[in-house]
């Protein structure tokens, strides 16, 4: 396709599934946004993985404040 979207082999590597039905189930369970092409294959934007907002990192807000007890 293009550099905007993951290639078919990259989707297989990501999901570990060859068939699109299983790929879509895995993507949905993993909360990775995608849409389907006319053949029913999942299309995933490459920018999703490049966007640091999608990567969860531990912060002070994530830790309990035991001093408040």
Which pLDDT does position 52 carry in this prediction? Answer: 61
pLDDT of 69 over the 90 cut: no
Which pLDDT does position 63 carry in this prediction? Answer: 76
Distance of CA 67 to the CA centre of its chain: 36
* pLDDT band at 66; cut points 50, 70, 90: confident
Which pLDDT does position 56 carry in this prediction? Answer: 59
CA distance 61 to 57: 11
- pLDDT tens digits, one per residue of 13-33: 999 999 999 999 999 999 999
Beta bridge partners of 5: 45
Output phi, psi for 48, to 5 deg: -60, -40
């Amino acid at each position: 396709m293009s550099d905007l979207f993951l290639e078919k082999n990259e989707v297989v590597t990501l999901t570990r599934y060859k068939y699109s039905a299983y790929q879509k189930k895995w993507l949905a369970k993993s909360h990775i946004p995608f849409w389907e092409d006319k053949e029913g294959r999942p299309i995933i934007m490459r920018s999703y993985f490049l966007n640091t907002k999608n990567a969860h990192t531990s912060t002070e807000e994530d830790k309990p404040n035991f001093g408040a007890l």
